[in-house]
Amino acid sequence: MELNSILPPRSALYLPASNPRAIEKAKGLNADLIMLDLEDAVKPGMKDEARAAAVEAAKAGFPGKLCAIRINAKGTAPHIADIIAVRGSACDLVVYPKVETADEAAEIAAKTGKPVLAMIETPKGVFAAKEIAAAEEVAGLIAGVNDLANDLHIPPGSGRSGLALSLQMIVLAARGAGVWALDGVYNALDDLGGLEAECAEGRRFGFDGKTLIHPNQIEAANRIWSPSEAEVEEAKALIAASSGGAERFRDRMIETMHVEMAMRLLARTGSN
């Protein structure tokens, strides 16, 4: 799969692979990426059942969506079986938790034969994010905000100010390597206002989209990571007005960089 030709997901929804009802419902959801979870969302006694279900779901596919499988980490009992199952599956990507070195990411890519979405969930992972993002067959980085906040000893309910540096380092690493950067999950399922605020912050940080834990979060992520009508109009006008080099456009100075930004924004909508 040539990821360079695919727009980054605005919405990436985790689903427990052990929940057949959720998997069936996901076929009709508007998420850009479905991530079938074999790790945290699955109880220890259901790992085998979830693995088989994930492979079957990936084979059936999710129309108009990318599909990934999140596997259990090296050293855990299900890891080897997960690797074998993903390698033989039809999923587009593999999600790997708590990546701390580029070698780990490259090893998972080699063993599964799938591009890797590497979860950056520890201080070591943050410091190594540049090398991880540049590793062969890494498709993107995911900010694992819950585990990272725990490791950083950030008190619960403190917001994301203590994570700001880590989040920006993840984005910097992804941009430096030319791969996707996906923001972490928002835990409060009924706080849609808080979700919208965090999505808006994530977009300002430079993330391509957000990982989600409930279908009711998809609409906000898709909307906020999609250009508004005003942004589209501004981008089209800027491109039309540009004649190369530095020049005045409306109330500001623009140059080639701003044209590139406008074209990238329009690509998100399919406009040109």
The second-level CATH assignment, the architecture, of 3-224 is Alpha-Beta Barrel (3.20)
DSSP string over the chain: --GGGSPPPSEEEEEETT-HHHHHHHTTS--SEEEEESSTTS-GGGHHHHHHHHHHHHHH--TTSEEEEEPPPTTSTTHHHHHHHHHTS--SEEEESS--SHHHHHHHHHHH-S-EEEEE-SHHHHHTHHHHHHSTTEEEEEE-HHHHHHHTTPPTT--SGGGHHHHHHHHHHHHHHT-EEEE-----TT-HHHHHHHHHHHHHHT-SEEEESSGGGHHHHHHHTSPPHHHHHHHHHHHHH--SSSEEETTEEE-HHHHHHHHHHHHTTT--
**What pLDDT sits at residue 254?**
86
- pTM exceeding the 0.85 threshold for the entire prediction: yes
**What pLDDT sits at residue 2?**
63
Q: Mean pLDDT, consecutive 10-residue segments, the chain of 272 residues?
A: 79 96 96 96 94 97 96 96 98 98 97 98 98 96 97 93 97 97 96 97 98 98 93 89 86 89 83 45
Domain boundaries, the chain: 3-224, 229-267
**What pLDDT sits at residue 272?**
45
